[in-house]
A and B are shown apart, each in its own frame.
Chain A
Amino acid sequence: MRKPDLELIQLTKRYGDTVAVDAIDLKIEAGSYCCLLGPSGCGKTSTLRMIAGHETVSGGDVVFGPANITDLPPAKRGTAMMFQSYALFPHLSCIDNVAFSLKMKGVDRAARRARAAEMLDLVAMAPYGERLPAQLSGGQQQRVALARALITEPQIVLLDEPLSALDPFLRTRMRVELKALQRRLGIIFVHVTHSQDEAMALADLAVIMKDGRIEQAGSPRELFNAPRTAFVAKFIGGHNVLQGPAGAFAVRADRLRLGRAAASPSAGPGLAAVVRSVEYQGTFVQLTLDGGAGSEITATLDEPTFDATPFQPGDPVAVSWSEADVHRLASAA
């Protein structure tokens, strides 16, 4: 039997006169990893909290498979939330934290602790069962929080900025673990983040939000290769948003070709710019160019290409690209 999909229909959240989430429609397929991505205040967290049942819905519906779960309490939705900075109960040991929801259901002590131990084992935290949260590192706390969310056997796990409290190294590692766990369990993960790297790495479905609306939703590849608006192109990074006669368009930074200004103009469209800075980034070299009138252009070149014509800051440069790499953007910026 096919597992149910999660659907948001005209979902709206108003706080007084301000609209935090403005009638969004979204379908998250069963077993997929969805990232809600956007700058702070874009409505991504409100959306997540409405799915979780921690925020009342001002309008619209949350539908999970055949059931409308809009007005159900969190524990009846088949969802489990992992909170930002984990919200582990500081007075309970790890194993009691994980067993908490079973205790609320009235499961007896031995049974719930046995089940909690299994969940801790799943996240490789079995040896730490008797410790208090304060005695754990950030990454360990996160695993315990994950085990606590998973013990109710949810069909949807909601994660509110789960990686933001970790240092960069741990963040990358936990990212891999999260994805592996989601694959293994085959359930929906909805993950709120403001980091496009995280969304790129994790998401089957990345949803970019702005001002309470969905700017674009699709696989990370779709978003990156075909950003629909200037906002998406800028937010997801690696793109230059340029103005052409037919309106704004985006070109990926790694698709720009740079030539000496004096050299014969290459095929295809282009413009003249001045190199402002050159940064060596290891696998590539990043150049920031002044395109005139305050416009800033970023170009990334691989090392051999850069070495062929090593630009210095202040050098005039001819920027060009091929027509195939141009993505027209919707006029609303």
Chain B
Amino acid sequence: MKQLFFIASLFVSSLSLAGQSEVEIPYLIPDSIIIDSSLDSTSLLYFNFPNATDLSSLSISYSLDGVQGEHSLVTNQGDLQLEATAGHHELQFFYSSEYYEEYTTINIEAGRRYYYSVYFTSSEMIILTEKPVIYLYPEKEQEVQVNVEPAGEFTFTYPKYNDGWKVLAAPNGKLTIDENTYNYLFWEASDRLTLDEVDLNVGFTVAGSDITRFLEEKLTQSGLNSKERADFITFWGPRMAAHDDVFLQFQFNKECDRYAELEIDPKPDNVYRIYMIWQPVDQLRIAPEAQEIPVMNRDGFTVLEWGGKELPSTKLVRTL
């Protein structure tokens, strides 16, 4: 993976600007081009796969302009060698489900030998669990101890997490720590997630332009109040609205233990956790089954936590 950063692509021309959080990592690196007049009107393409080494698959599926083939990685046959005429060609490579499928278009001239390195990108990603915020609504003003055990490492907490947060919580939701008043406790952590873990068959696809209305509807349905909803929507909404379409899936309560365990003392009467996993889908290719939204019970000492994860925009299905 590290190597990918060494070698910048010939195909990527975007500079990472504000708002564009993702940096494209190139995967098809032209290593060299040799003029060979003996080749006449065709050209030869050679591909090597430097990081296809983890034995999760012993061959690579490829297609050149829709014509598929298999390239064995174990018979020592060396580089994959393909022949093509001058012009544009569509290429696809698939290694295993632990890596993204890669596809691109190349433009070649006749009478050349082209040498490429193809790097696969692992679909196991370190992804931030973003902005979980915790609101506490006790029935009377009382000291509350809150502990979070994230699946990965904390990347940010506020107010500072120090073996937990010890707060003086009031029924109106005000939290006092060291004479400072807060509305919520904030943490962020990074952990590993494989795309395989996300069940794309359940959730929603929503147009970016419709995201505010959609979130308002679902969050109101789940029982968040207008302030909590505003915190959620002003955090996620602008990022989601920047895409044509997004896929999103809510996860609730026990399901959220996968990201972090939450311990609160004294024990609340009701804890409601709602996480949203989402990713941009610029070509709609999935039609998930809509999710049921459980309704929050706000009786007695109530705790609400919301957070989420943005997954990178990727090909959602194997197309090869």
**A and B found bound together:** no
Q: List the interface of chain A (C-beta within 8 A of B).
A: none
Q: List the interface of chain B (C-beta within 8 A of A).
A: none
